[in-house]
Amino acid sequence: MEKRQKIYKYIMLVVIVATITFLLTSIWVYKTIEGKGKYIYVTADNSEIGNTLATFRKLIDQKFLGEIKEEDLVNGAIKGYIEGLNDPYTEYFTKEEMEEFTVDVFGNFVGIGVNMLNNTTDNTILVLSPIKGSPAATAGIRAGDIITKVDGVAYKGENLSEASSKIKGEKGTTVKIEILRDNQTMEFEIKRDSIKINHVEGEVLENNIGYLSLNTFDDGCAEEFEAQYKELEKQNIKALIIDVRNNGGGLVDEALEIAQLMVPKGNTMLITVNKNEKEEIEKSEKNPVIQMPIVVLTNEGTASASEILAGALRDNKKAKTVGTKTYGKGVIQELITLKDGSGIKITTSEYYTPNRNKINKVGIEPDVMVELSKEAQNSLTLDKRNDTQLQKAIEVLKSEM
C-alpha cells in the first residue's frame, strides 16, 4: 500500500473541530502526493427541479422583504436536496466548509479536545471520549456525556456539524457546554487550546503483558503503532492488549495496516459491498510480525475503523475481544470535491468482517462480556486497578501464556 498515492478510506468523518469531533462517517478521502484532489464536474439538468426553483425565485423577487443573497439561496437549496435522502452520514459542503473540513482532518487543531458523534438512535450529540490532557478532560467532560447546548443554543445529533463549528474558536477564548449526564444537566465553561493527539500509548503491565492504547486511526497511526510495539518487544513482552475503547475510528488504511502486523498473508481482513452488490475484498499483503496471545478491548464507543481491526483479528483467530458490544458503524462514504470547490460526502458501501458478519447497526459482541465497574465509570482518570475490563483481559492472557 503506497501511503501517499492512494485513496484514503475514512471510517469516520472527522470534522475534527478540535473538539476533535468524530462524526463516525466512513469516508474515502481523495488525497494525492502534492495535495491535489480529484474533482468531479457536474451539471444540473433536471428541468422539473429547475422549474420549481424558478417559480419560488419569482415569488421571492416579488414578495420577499429583505436582502437576497444568491449564493446563500443556492447553497440552501442544495443542502435541502441532499438532506432529503434522510441519511445522517450524507452531507453537502460549501466551498468554505470543504476547506475547513480538509484543514480539520489533515491540519493542526485548536479547540476543547473531545471526540463526539451523532448518535442516530436518539438524535443526540454523544461524547465518545475527551482527549487525554485536553481542556475538555481537565474540565471534567466524560465519555457518555450528551452535549445539549453550546453557548446557550440547543443542538440535536443531526446538528452536529453546526454545533462543532460553534465549539471551535480562537485559542484562549472560552465556550460554554451544557451536557446531560445520568439525567442531570451540567454546564462547563472551557477555554480553547491547541490539541495534541497521541495516537498510540504503550506500557508493560504485569506478567510481561504489553499494552497499546489506540486513540484514533489518523494518518501515520500504523507506523506509530508498530514503533510502540517494537519498544515493548525489547522489554520482553509475552502477550499484548490492544485497547480501542472509545476509539471512534479514522482511516481504514491505517486500521488495515495495523491488522497486517498480525493477520497471516493472504487472509481476508475486510469485505465491502456497494449498491450494485459488487464486493471488494481486502487481504493481508504481509507476513505477520506480532505472533503472541492478543486481547482487544472494546466498548460501545468502539466504532468504524476500530471495529474493522477488532473484526479482522477476531475472525482470523489472532485475538480475543473483551469488554462490551461495539457501536455498530459499518457504512462507508466517499468525499467528492466539485469543480467550484464545494463537495459532497455520500454513503457508497457497507462493510463486513472477514466471516461476513454485519457490523452496521449491529456491532461486535465481545468473546468475553465485561462491564466497566461503577467506580471506574465515575472516575475522571481510569485507574488500571479499577478497570474491570482491563483486569479481565490480563486474566484471559495469563491463561494463554
3-state SS, 242-278, equals EECCCCCCEEHHHHHHHHCCCCCCCCEEEEEEECCCC
- Please report the DSSP string for 340-377 in residue order: TS-EEEEEEEEEE-TT--B-TTT----SEE-PPPHHHH
d(CA 131, CA 63): 50
* Among 31, 32, 35, 15, residue whose Cα is nearest residue 23: 15
| pLDDT (average), residues 238-243 | 98
Residue written as grid cell 478532560: 137
- Residue 6 — pLDDT band, cuts 50, 70, 90? very low
Q: Which tens digit of pLDDT belongs to each residue from 142-167?
A: 988 999 999 999 999 988 878 888 89
CB 4 within 8 A of CB 98: no
Q: Which tens digit of pLDDT belongs to each residue from 360-379?
A: 999 999 999 999 877 766 65
d(CA 248, CA 128): 7
Q: Which tens digit of pLDDT belongs to each residue from 74-98?
A: 899 999 999 999 998 898 999 888 8
Per-residue pLDDT, 105? 53
Per-residue pLDDT, 379? 59
Burial degree of 245 (CB within 10 A; 0-12, 13-18, 19+): buried
> Roughly how many angstroms between the first and final C-alpha of the chain, as a whole number?
33
| Residue type (1 letter), 351 | Y
Per-residue pLDDT, 38? 41
Which secondary-structure segment (H or E) carries 312? helix 305-315
Residue written as grid cell 482470523: 316
| pLDDT (average), residues 292-298 | 98
Helix axes 252-259, 221-234, angle to 10 degrees: 30
Per-residue pLDDT, 47? 67
Angle CA 179–181–182, to nearest 5: 155
Q: Which tens digit of pLDDT belongs to each residue from 268-290?
A: 999 999 999 999 999 999 999 99
d(CA 149, CA 160): 11
Fill in the DSSP letter of residue 208: G
3-state SS assignment for residue 175:
strand
The mean predicted confidence, pLDDT, of the chain is 84
Residue 218: φ, ψ to 5°: -75, 170
Q: Which tens digit of pLDDT belongs to each residue from 298-331?
A: 999 999 999 999 999 999 999 999 999 999 989 8
- Residue 198 — pLDDT band, cuts 50, 70, 90? confident
- Residue 18 — pLDDT band, cuts 50, 70, 90? very low
| pLDDT (average), residues 250-275 | 95
Per-residue pLDDT, 380? 52
Report whether pLDDT(115) > 70: yes
d(CA 211, CA 245): 13
- Residue 175 — pLDDT band, cuts 50, 70, 90? very high
Which secondary-structure segment (H or E) carries 149? strand 146-150
Report whether pLDDT(250) > 90: no
Report whether pLDDT(106) > 60: no
Per-residue pLDDT, 219? 80
| Residue type (1 letter), 369 | M
Per-residue pLDDT, 31? 33
Q: Which residue has the higher pLDDT, 381 or 111?
A: 111
- Among the four given CATH numbers 3.30.70.1400, 3.90.650.10, 1.10.10.10, 3.90.226.10, the one describing domain 200-328+350-400: 3.90.226.10
Q: Which tens digit of pLDDT belongs to each residue from 28-43?
A: 443 322 233 344 444 4
Largest CA distance in the chain: 79
Residue written as grid cell 519498544: 231
- Residue 117 — pLDDT band, cuts 50, 70, 90? confident
52: left (phi over 0), alpha (psi -120 to 50) or beta: alpha
Per-residue pLDDT, 140? 93
CB 216 within 8 A of CB 249: yes
Per-residue pLDDT, 121? 81
Angle CA 393–399–401, to nearest 5: 100
d(CA 360, CA 331): 6
| pLDDT (average), residues 254-269 | 97
Per-residue pLDDT, 355? 98
Domain regions of the chain by residue span: 200-328+350-400
Residue 196 C-alpha cell reads as 495534541
Q: Which residues are catalytic?
A: 304, 315, 329
- Residue 103 — pLDDT band, cuts 50, 70, 90? low
d(CA 192, CA 131): 13
Q: Which residue has the higher pLDDT, 25 or 242?
A: 242
- Residue 104 — pLDDT band, cuts 50, 70, 90? low
In the chain, % of residues over pLDDT 70: 85
